[in-house]
Amino acid sequence: MIRGVRGATTIKKDQEEEVVQATKELLDEMISANDLDPEKVSHIWFTVTSDIQSAFPAKAARLIAGWQFVPVMCAQEIPVPGSLPLCVRIMLSAELDKSQKDVQHVYLNEAVRLRPDLGLTNKK
């Protein structure tokens, strides 16, 4: 079954190294928590808030061995007033042998505030 795996993190400053490092950390956590195999990943969508312009977060996927052939796309979040600043979000679609409720979504740093209703966030 194709499942969506969500994740989000925040950065302190819009700098290329920070965007890529924080995104790689998030992807690593998502991969580990869900035992993801790149051969079973359909694609990954990365979005950023409008205050992030220094780097494409998808660059982080290229730093993980075996993930260089996974299709990736970046986009900008809609600028909703009061939304969480300096935020990178990920929607990863993969074939998983898990039920919807067993998928582990990962939220790091200030992004833990995005989905407190799930009770699935990883605090950092």
Active-site residue (options: 62, 87, 95, 113): 62
Question: Is 89 an active-site residue?
Answer: yes
- Averaged pLDDT for residues 3-10: 97
Cβ proximity of 93 and 3 under 8 Å:
yes
pTM above 0.85, yes or no: yes
* Domains of the chain, each with CATH number or no CATH: 2-113 (3.30.1330.40)
Q: Which residues are annotated as a binding site for prephenate?
A: 6, 89, 107
Is residue 119 very low, low, confident or very high in pLDDT (cuts 50, 70, 90)? low
Question: Is 113 an active-site residue?
Answer: no
Active-site residue (options: 6, 17, 18, 95): 6
Q: Convert the pLDDT of each residue in 41-89 to its tens digit.
A: 999 999 999 999 999 999 999 999 999 999 999 999 999 999 999 999 9
Active-site residue (options: 3, 18, 25, 74): 74
Distances (CA, A) of 69 to 32, 50, 92: 19, 27, 14
Question: Is 77 an active-site residue?
Answer: yes
CA 9 to chain centre: 7
